[in-house]
């Protein structure tokens, strides 16, 4: 059973489009995250939700909006996609900010 699953795995789209990435965890964790990994493998946190409440909101353009309908789900919606948004986006979850479990990533390519 997949612990943290995110879809889609690949997303290729044109500049200016709006897209969403979905994430679900079945570990019973209380905290979920979105990370962005650039081409040099550097992982940067974007958002974190604890029990559906936004607790970390790093300096990210307003075009990025997370939504947590319940503790097991955290989605990421991106408006007006730009070339610089191309990266791998990882969802992760943890219990009490302890060990992070990552999904397999969504490779976003903006053309």
Residues that bind other proteins (CB under 8 A): 4, 33, 40-43, 45, 48, 55-56, 90, 92, 97, 99-105, 107
Provide, rounded to whole angstroms, the least separation between the CB of residue 92 and other proteins. Answer: 8
Indicate the residue among 72 and 100 with the shorter CB distance to other proteins. 100
CB of 31 to other proteins, least distance (A): 8
Concatenating the DSSP letter of every residue in 35-96 gives EEE-TT--EEEEEEEETTEEEEE-S--TTEEEEEEETTEEEEEE-S--GGG-EEEEEEEEST
Q: How far is the CB of 80 from other proteins (least distance, A)?
A: 27
């Amino acid at each position: 059973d997949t612990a943290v699953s995110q879809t889609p795995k690949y997303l290729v789209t044109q500049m200016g489009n709006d897209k969403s990435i979905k994430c679900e965890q079945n570990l019973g964790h209380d905290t979920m995250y979105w990370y962005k990994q650039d081409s040099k493998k550097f992982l940067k946190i974007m958002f974190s939700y604890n029990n559906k409440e936004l607790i970390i909101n790093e300096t990210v353009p307003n075009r990025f909006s997370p939504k947590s309908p319940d503790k097991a789900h955290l989605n990421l919606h991106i408006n007006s996609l730009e070339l610089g948004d191309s990266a791998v986006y990882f969802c992760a979850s943890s219990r009490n900010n302890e060990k992070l479990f990552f999904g397999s990533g969504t490779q976003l390519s903006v053309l």
